[in-house]
Amino acid sequence: MGLSLKERVFTALLGIAAASGLTMLILILVKATNVFLPADTKFGIVFDAGSSHTSLFVYQWPANKEKDTGVVSQALTCQIEGPGISSYASDPAQAGESLKSCLEEALALIPQSQHQETPTFLGATAGMRLLSQKNSSQARDILAAVSQILSKSPVDFWGAKILTGKDEGAFGWITINYVLGMLLKYSSGQWILPEERILVGALDLGGASTQISFVPQAPILDQSTQATFRLYGANYSIYTHSYLCYGRDQVLRRLLAELAQRSPVARVRHPCYHSGYQATLPLAPLYESPCVHTTDSLNFTQNITVEGIGNPGDCVAALHRLFNFSSCKGQEDCAFNGVYQPPVHGQFYVEASYPGQERWLRDYCASGLYILVLLLEGYKFSEETWPNIQFQKQAGGMDIGWTLGYMLNLTGMIPAEALTQWRAQSYSIWMAGVVFAVLTLSAILGAAAVQLFWTQD
């Protein structure tokens, strides 16, 4: 015996009510999951705006930090096309535009729901420090241009600024010790401070500056060279100093200018260039940098012819003239230029830039000899301590530089736990509302079905 009309209508309406309620529940739960469920991983973006190029790094860490510091890993690195942002002094807007392609690559990696909570920072180093000395208004215009681009992107923009040399050195020290497992270690299912850890020093040779950072054996006597911070519940105090104008590119520029000033004619015999090398160069660009001191006797409108003579002894002697070793006057706690430095102690990791373009081949000899002079006579490494130096660009699968150290320090300022708790509470409240709304809708549709049933003839 078939169902009556009333029974068929009643059954259909109840089905509609159930289907509608279930559909709404699924849709709302999907939205609630996307918006309110706590994210397991947080992200951060750091731009390293160096003197010769700019790099972007994306870092990630679990939302639950270890003793107020995130366990950070590198998720992406992207090299910005073109020169460093300090090269855009005549076209600041282009400095900002140059960042877009790598920023888009970073945003494609990070879940869209987390874009607005991703801290993003641009740190400019020695190239911009030099430009700020030469023309502060141009430096401000460049920072304003990159800030305009980054502030319009869907991220949590923390600003663009010129890092001090001290910060650059300290963050670099944090980076190398972190990636080597000296600050945190995973053991027996938990993160702990290593029991036996030997903290290492960091040496950084960039295009415009060089930094040295390490933990000395004795107390630091000059407080201006001391950096302190707290990571994973432990306090650290290190010696760090940055030498502006002693990066690779600026040293090569200063070296050529020094040789030109000693030449009586517009022909420079360069002892660091190989025999047979010859090139004609304009003189004026050499003196655009604040690192190069001018003399009234030079005619900046002329060109100079540079000839290589390949004499290592004379090359080292010319490099020596770029340092002021006599200012230390035999003091043990002094490097060069009268700068205080405790005796080097422990193992050191060096990060140095190694340009691969053919146009840099002429400078390999000068660069290598300069590094020797800097390490042996500048920083006072000896035959005994030289084996403690390791030259590396990466360690633990991550790039060595200041950006990771900056991000580790930054995670201490992000209240990840509070944010996660707020999201969990919001999710519970939202779910209660969802259940109430679905039950109410189902009750209304059910009542309508019953009413229709009894009024149907």
Residues 175-221: tens digit of each pLDDT: 999 999 999 887 777 888 887 778 999 999 999 999 999 999 999 99
Query: For position 198, what pLDDT does the model report?
Result: 87
| Beta-sheet pairing, 73-79 with 267-270 | unpaired
Q: Is the torsion defined by CA of 407, 409, 413, 415 positive or negative?
A: positive
Distance CA 203, CA 106 (A): 29
The single residue of 66, 105, 168, 258 carrying the catalytic annotation is: 168
Q: Is 204 left (phi over 0), alpha (psi -120 to 50) or beta?
A: beta
Which one of 244-248, 328-332, 358-362 scores highest in mean pLDDT? Answer: 244-248
Do 398 and 46 contact (CB within 8 A), yes or no? no
Task: Report whether 208 belongs to an annotated binding site.
Answer: yes
Q: Where are the domains of the chain?
A: 5-36+420-455, 41-237+391-418, 248-384
Query: For position 419, what pLDDT does the model report?
Result: 37
Neighbours of 24 (CB within 10 A): 15
Query: For position 409, what pLDDT does the model report?
Result: 86
* 243 has a pLDDT exceeding 90: yes
Averaged pLDDT score across all residues of the chain: 83
Query: For position 425, what pLDDT does the model report?
Result: 40
* 343 has a pLDDT exceeding 70: yes
Q: H-helix or E-strand containing 234?
A: strand 234-244
Query: For position 416, what pLDDT does the model report?
Result: 47
Which one of 112-126, 287-301, 339-353, 360-374 scores highest in mean pLDDT? Answer: 112-126
Task: Report whether 250 belongs to an annotated binding site.
Answer: no
Query: For position 33, what pLDDT does the model report?
Result: 36
Neighbours of 447 (CB within 10 A): 11
* 121 has a pLDDT exceeding 70: yes
Query: For position 432, what pLDDT does the model report?
Result: 45
Query: For position 398, what pLDDT does the model report?
Result: 83
Token pair, residue 407, equals 């991000």
* 150 has a pLDDT exceeding 60: yes
Distance CA 138, CA 131 (A): 7
Ramachandran angles phi, psi of 204, nearest 5° = -130, 125
Distance CA 193, CA 214 (A): 19
Instruction: Give, in degrees to the nearest 5, the angle at Cα 290 between 54 and 142.
Output: 40
Do 59 and 410 contact (CB within 8 A), yes or no? no
Query: For position 362, what pLDDT does the model report?
Result: 87
Task: Report whether 308 belongs to an annotated binding site.
Answer: no
- Name the nearest CA neighbour of 342 among 211, 215, 228: 215
For residue 227, what are the β-bridge partners? 238
pLDDT band, very low/low/confident/very high, at 296 (cuts 50, 70, 90)? low
Say whether 248-384 and 41-237+391-418 share the same fold: yes
Task: Report whether 209 belongs to an annotated binding site.
Answer: yes
Architecture of domain 41-237+391-418: 2-Layer Sandwich (3.30)
Please state, for a pLDDT cut of 90, what percent of the chain lies above it. 61
* Residue with token string 């650290």: 236
Distance CA 59, CA 45 (A): 6
User: Active-site residue 258, yes or no?
Assistant: no
Distance CA 326, CA 222 (A): 20
| Beta-sheet pairing, 348-352 with 389-391 | parallel
Q: What is the mean pLDDT of residues 128-138?
A: 96
Within the chain, what is the greatest distance between any pair of CA atoms? 120
pLDDT band, very low/low/confident/very high, at 14 (cuts 50, 70, 90)? very low
Query: For position 317, what pLDDT does the model report?
Result: 97
Ramachandran angles phi, psi of 248, nearest 5° = -55, -50
| Helix ranges restricted to H, 111-268 | 126-134, 136-152, 165-179, 248-262
Q: H-helix or E-strand containing 281?
A: strand 278-282
Query: For position 254, what pLDDT does the model report?
Result: 96
Q: What residues contact residue 225 under an 8 Å CB cut-off, 6+ apart?
A: 166, 239, 240, 241, 340, 341
Query: For position 452, what pLDDT does the model report?
Result: 45
* 87 has a pLDDT exceeding 70: yes
Tens digits of per-residue pLDDT, 431-449? 444 444 444 445 554 554 4
Q: Which CATH superfamily is domain 248-384 in?
A: Exopolyphosphatase. Domain 2 (3.30.420.150)
Query: For position 331, what pLDDT does the model report?
Result: 86
Neighbours of 6 (CB within 10 A): 14
Query: For position 369, what pLDDT does the model report?
Result: 96
Q: What is the mean pLDDT of residues 150-165?
A: 96
Do 360 and 323 contact (CB within 8 A), yes or no? no
Query: For position 283, what pLDDT does the model report?
Result: 85
Q: Which 3 state secondary structure label does DSSP give 66?
A: strand
Q: What residues contact residue 441 under an 8 Å CB cut-off, 6+ apart?
A: 17, 20, 21, 24
